[in-house]
Amino acid sequence: MTKLRLAIVGAGPAGIYAADILLKAERNFEVSIDLFDHLPAPYGLVRYGVAPDHPRIKGIINALRDVLDRGDIRLFGNVQFGTDITLDDLKKHYNAVIFSTGAVRDASLNIPGIELEGSYGAAEFVSWFDGHPDFPRTWPLEAREVAVIGNGNVALDVSRILAKHADDLLPTEIPANVYDGLKASPVTDVHVFGRRGPTSVKFTPLELRELGELRDVDMILHEEDFDYDDAARAAVASNKQVFVIDKVMNQWRQRPVGEASRRLHLHFFAKPLEIVDDGSGRVGAIRYERTAPDGEGGVAGTGEIREVPIQAVYRAVGYFGTQLPGIPFDKRRGIIPNREGQVLRKADPTSGSAGWTEQMYGVYATGWIKRGPVGLIGHTKSDAMETIRHVINDLGNWWRPESPSEQSVSDLLDSRGIKYTDLDGWHNLDQHEIGLGSGEGRARVKVVPRDDMVRISRAE
């Protein structure tokens, strides 16, 4: 019987779901899957991209753990694609590869002053407070007044972590260095800016509710933002999610303010124009234009310019993919160009952005690196199903590896001195972190330094 040796690069939800869907799919061939990740631990953005005070994420991790623990997928962690293992290597050992490397960089925001000292990307801040091993252990939390630009869930995560008292994060898996940094933060005011109105936000009701549950934090909203036009009223009436968001905000508008030691300000109809220099090369203020509904579902500038003093700013305007060695990349969209997961390259290298027309046989994509950083876990599953359907149907165009044995891959990594981690190693690290947490009455405490993660995983 034909056998598919499949490599999946990226061990987050997208990669794990793709493996699971293929193993459960109707097919007329055997399957052997190896999952690679540059981190020593699996789960990707579920482990390193979600705020630690989101307990519902544990349910997602449990589902992913169940897939890996079945024992029919091998895991190779701490393996960097492009250096530790290359596309040519994969062609020698596998019939095909799926890239599920996600989108982990911050999208750019092209306004003057965004490069000033004190200006940060939200994704980098999230990686810090989630204990990502490839980021510095310290973060410059020196500002009393902070701006967060964006109206999505990441903007709310960042705002909530900045405004929340560090002691209230102690029950979570927050690393000790992050707790110490947040504990010393002098922040008093966090300002969140979005260019559209309250009925056009991108965050979910659950995320919004969590924001209003912070201890000793006043929610500050502005009455001028709630003078709805017909389109906004129609959105509230017709969309359940918008209805709930509007209800939550209206409840906040009735709250007394002035007693808390910290304040979280929501500014709608506010288009950022410039980050103002304080005179020393540092962030000193955010300048924005007041917008208004344009009658067509969007907003237009009013010409009214306002300014709010701040000493730090976080842009949470989306994530962006990272180019992989030897793999086509759409620099405009931040994705691997593809047709329903089949990776495309340019038949004519001189063609423009529309030149991705030729299928790159044996190479596939799924998740955010395929479609961009949009959608929730449910989208990731349907996304993987689409890609896997093409993997199965493309049997006649699979690579013909010269050394397809499972042992040959381990031998290759060993010969290069790669200290890779496997599923047993992840279990070692997982139990170690749980043990660290149990002594403090917590679910776990993350191990942050990469070398320590590898040493514990490999029981060295």
DSSP letter at 41 equals S
Task: For residues 330 and 368, give the distance between their C-alpha atoms in angstroms, rounded to a whole number.
Answer: 13
339 in the same domain as 311: no
Domain total for the chain? 2
412 falls within a domain: yes
346 in the same domain as 225: no
**329 close to 99: Cβ distance less than 8 angstroms:** no
Look at residue 8 in the predicted model and tell me its pLDDT.
98
258 in the same domain as 356: no
Predicted model pTM = 0.93
Instruction: Choose the final residue of a domain: 289, 319, 349.
Output: 319
415 falls within a domain: yes
458 falls within a domain: no
341 in the same domain as 216: no
Task: For residues 379 and 416, give the distance between their C-alpha atoms in angstroms, rounded to a whole number.
Answer: 37
| Ramachandran category for residue 12: left, alpha or beta (phi over 0 → left; psi -120 to 50 → alpha) | beta
Look at residue 352 in the predicted model and tell me its pLDDT.
62
243 in the same domain as 135: yes
β-pairing, 270-277 vs 283-293, is antiparallel
91 falls within a domain: yes
At CA 94, angle to CA 331 and CA 450, rounded to 5? 65
65 in the same domain as 111: no
**81 close to 36: Cβ distance less than 8 angstroms:** yes
**109 close to 275: Cβ distance less than 8 angstroms:** no
272 falls within a domain: yes
In the structure encoding, which two tokens stand for residue 112, read together? 């003057």
Residue 49 belongs to domain spanning = 3-104+321-420
Q: Report the mean per-residue pLDDT for the chain.
A: 94
293 in the same domain as 234: yes
- Please say whether the dihedral angle defined by the alpha carbons of residues 308, 312, 316 and 319, taken in this order, is positive or negative: positive
Residue 368: CB atoms within 10 A of its CB come to 29
- For the stretch 209-259, pLDDT in tens is 989 999 999 999 999 999 999 999 999 999 999 999 999 999 999 999 988
183 in the same domain as 202: yes
Look at residue 351 in the predicted model and tell me its pLDDT.
64
| Ramachandran category for residue 54: left, alpha or beta (phi over 0 → left; psi -120 to 50 → alpha) | beta
Residue 64 belongs to domain with CATH number? 3.40.50.720
Instruction: Choose the final residue of a domain: 290, 319, 348.
Output: 319
- For the stretch 354-386, pLDDT in tens is 678 899 999 999 999 999 988 767 678 889 999
126 falls within a domain: yes
364 in the same domain as 288: no
328 in the same domain as 182: no
326 in the same domain as 314: no
Instruction: Choose the final residue of a domain: 303, 319, 335.
Output: 319
- For the stretch 30-80, pLDDT in tens is 999 999 999 999 999 889 988 888 867 767 888 999 999 999 999 999 999
